Structures are given as C-alpha cells and as structure tokens.
Structure 1
Amino acid sequence: MTFLPLYDGVPMRNMRTPYVTYGIIAFSTIAYLAIWLDFLPMPEESISASFGLIPAVLFGSVVLPDGLPVLPTGSTLVTSLFIHAGLLHLAGNMLFLWVFGDNVEDALGHLRFLVFFLLCGLASSLAYAFSVPDSERPLIGASGAVAGVVAAYLILHPRVRVWGLFFFRIPLHLRAFWAIGFWLMIQVAEIWLNIDDSVGWLAHIGGFAAGALLVIVLRRKNQPLLGAGDGPQLTGDV
C-alpha cells in the first residue's frame, strides 16, 4: 500500500459520535476474528467462496458445489465487503475508514451514511463483476466501499491537510487533494499496467466514482462542498 492516512484533524460539526463508522469497523473486525479463530464451521476457502463475490457464480456460468453456498448469490455483492483476506488487508481498509469516515458520516447523517457505504460497495462489486464476468476468483474486502468514502471526503474537504505515510516510511502533511489524488493515480496505474491481478482495482474505481456522485445527492442540505465551509487554518501550502 503506497499511502496510509494517519490524521486529518477536521472537527465534527453535526454529531458527536460517528456510530455507523465505528460500527462498520467493529463488525468487520469481529468477522475477521471469527474466521481467524475458526469460530465458523467451515474452512477459510469455503468462507471466501460462500460470502465473497464470484462473478462467474453471480452471472450463472459456474455453480458452486452442493452445500457450499450459505447465502443467496446476489447477497454476496454486500457480504463480500465484510470479509478480509488478512490482518493487513483489514487494517488498511479500517484505517482509511477511521480517518475519513467520521467526517463523511457527519456530512450525511447516520442512516444516509450507512446507505451510502452499502451503495458504494454495491457499485464497486458490480464494477468488478462486469469487468471479469468469467472470473472464479472471489472478491472480498471493503476496499471498494472505502474508496467511495475517500471520494466523498475529497469532494467535501479537498483543501484539508492530511498526515499520511507514503511508501510505509515517508510521513507527509499534504492537502487531501494531493494525497488522495496520488492514491487514485496508483489505482489507475495498477489497472493500466496490470501489475497485480490478485487485487480488484476496478472495484476501487467503481466505488470511488459512486462515492463522488452519491455524496452530492445524500449530503445534508446545509453541507458545503469543495471545502467551502473549511476554515482558513486548513489552507496553505501543499
């Protein structure tokens, strides 16, 4: 991961506690621990196949073995968001959500933020599925939905300066426009160069596009866009 957000310092304006953000982080963590501690009566590969999104299964060209599907196939468009491949996968997604999710939830409200998150996840899942309709590799993780949250934050607070860790070792204090822009450039480059096909990069782009559009529609009526409500202390040099 080339960029990890650490802190933004943007105060909450409309609520004290982002319950939905915290709830998603808690639920995702509990789901990971349940799998890691073998609380579910099936091997990890079966869990990924049952709860992850498999495009070929979604579109009906492949059928899972008898007894393997736990939920209806269409539900994996959502359940896949809460299953993660490992601790770093989980920690990276939850860190992005921790830093950016509270301010997006503050701008939308609790219920609309939950709807927003699920719709971004749905858009990311569909973007991945339609890009590789014959793939039998499960898509898991909240990365696409989190990308939607990142996009919403960019639309809301592009001038805010964010502390981030670049390439795991370089701390920088950049405006969100530059930090998130760099992150987005990496996503596009990965798709273009096809360096690592084990990651659903198009899911990230699908979630990002959905988030950028949905935040405009779902935000509170008095919520400004493009940093119009951010104080002068949040501006300055790059």
Structure 2
Amino acid sequence: MTTVSVHAFFHLQEAVQLFGLIPAQGFRLHGLTFVTSFFLHAGVIHLVGNMYFLLVFGDDVENFLGPLRYVAFIAIAAFVGDLAHIASAPNSSIPCIGASGGIAAVITFYALAFPQAKIGFLWRYFYYFRWIRLPAWFVFVLWIVFQIIGAYEQRVGISSVSSFAHLGGATIGLVAWVICRKKRWIDPP
C-alpha cells in the first residue's frame, strides 16, 4: 500500500489518467475507477483539505450513524457524486478524482443534524485576523450557494472543481438525514 501511494504521489499525472474516473469511459476497468478515483487527490492541499473536513465533521456523523453505516454512507455518496459529475459532462475525457462527494455528504448531514453547532473561521480583513464562530446551518447555506455558483462555472468551463460531485454527495447527505428523522434517530430541531 505504501509503495503504491509513494509511486502515485511521484507519478500523479500517470496515476490520475489510469485510475481517475473519466466520464466518457465511466465503466473503464470494469467500473473500478469509481473506487480508485476516491483515493486519488490532485495534491497535498486537496488531500489535507478533504481530511480536515472529514476530521471536523466526520467524527460526529460517525458517532451518530455507527461505523458500518458511516462507511456505507460515504461510499454511496461518493458513487452518487461521481454519477452527478458524469451526468454534468458525459463526454468529458478529463479525469475526476477525490473524495468530494463523500465529504459533501458528511458536511450536509452534520449541518442538518447539528444546525446550531458553532464552526470557527479565521477571518482576514487586510492585515487583521480574527476568529469568528458561525452556526453550522449558516455555513452550510453559504457552502451550498458556492457549490451552485461552482456548478455554473463548471458548466461554462471556467472551473476544474467538480461542484456537481459535491452537490450529488450533498443530496445523499440530505436523504440520509431525512431517513434518520423518519426512523426517529434524530429529534426535530
């Protein structure tokens, strides 16, 4: 595993072409790229960013769902995110990589299950920095607005971030939250 990871890191472009999800060839390698693309990232910042959001939001969601449901939840969300990406550009030959669909589902579930939880940000105003804390529901609404803007930018070709994968994953986060509410696993806010 370590050898493969080190090789992929130093030969990232080759690894992305081989194991990334290419919409025009969605079931290449017998569909295995739906799995392999989840573990590939565009670089250290992309990987650390996803791991950060998983660390901040994922532990509460995992505690809520339990470990097996949590893994299934992320896997389904990543798959649906990939399908949303394919639907947005079915003829694209540009590989899609990253765990964004799964992470988006975790963020969505967290914001819906814990809407009043405070999320801290380091706000920069010129040379001044200040920590601010905002409720999860508000941060989530801002995030969704940015994803919708990003989806538009993706459609017109000025963004390489797959906001459609984020929105597909967020949809699974919403569906999972609704199911948990119907089963009375979540008390109404």
TM-score by length of structure 2 reads 0.85
Deviation of 1:160 after TM superposition, in Å, equals: 1.1
Give runs of aligned pairs for residues 76-87 of structure 1, distance below 5 A: 76-87=33-44
Q: Is the 8 A contact 1:53 1:77 kept in 2?
A: yes
1:185 counterpart letter in structure 2:
V
Runs of at least 5 residues in structure 2 that lack an aligned partner in the other structure: none
Q: Deviations over 1:164-196 (max 9, x none)?
A: 245796632000011121111111112224474
How many equivalent residue pairs?
184
Give runs of aligned pairs for residues 157-168 of structure 1, distance below 5 A: 157-165=114-122
Change over 3 Å in CA distance of 1:81–1:132 after alignment to 2 = same
Q: Does 1:189 align with 2:142?
A: no
User: Percent identical across equivalent pairs?
Assistant: 35
Match of 1:178 in 2: 138
> CA separation in 1, counterparts of 2:131 and 2:6?
30
Change over 3 Å in CA distance of 1:104–1:133 after alignment to 2 = same
> CA separation in 2, counterparts of 1:164 and 1:222?
32
Match of 1:215 in 2: 177
- Selected match of 1:35 from 8, 24, 44: 8
> CA separation in 2, counterparts of 1:142 and 1:209?
15
> CA separation in 2, counterparts of 1:163 and 1:30?
37
> CA separation in 2, counterparts of 1:97 and 1:125?
18
> CA separation in 2, counterparts of 1:87 and 1:198?
17
Change over 3 Å in CA distance of 1:216–1:118 after alignment to 2 = same
Deviation of 1:216 after TM superposition, in Å, equals: 3.3
Q: Does 1:99 align with 2:61?
A: no
Runs of at least 5 residues in structure 1 that lack an aligned partner in the other structure: 1-26, 60-68, 229-238
Q: Is the 8 A contact 2:120 2:134 kept in 1?
A: yes
1:197 counterpart letter in structure 2:
S
Q: Does 1:124 align with 2:81?
A: yes
> CA separation in 1, counterparts of 2:113 and 2:14?
40
Q: Is the 8 A contact 1:131 1:202 kept in 2?
A: yes
Structure of higher RCO (CA pairs closer than 8 Å, 6+ residues apart): 1
Which one has the bigger helix percentage?
A: 2
Q: Deviations over 1:116-144 (max 9, x none)?
A: 00000000000001111100000001112
Give the superposed CA RMSD.
2.8
TM-score by length of structure 1 reads 0.69
Q: Deviations over 1:69-88 (max 9, x none)?
A: 7xx24121122111101111
Change over 3 Å in CA distance of 1:53–1:136 after alignment to 2 = same
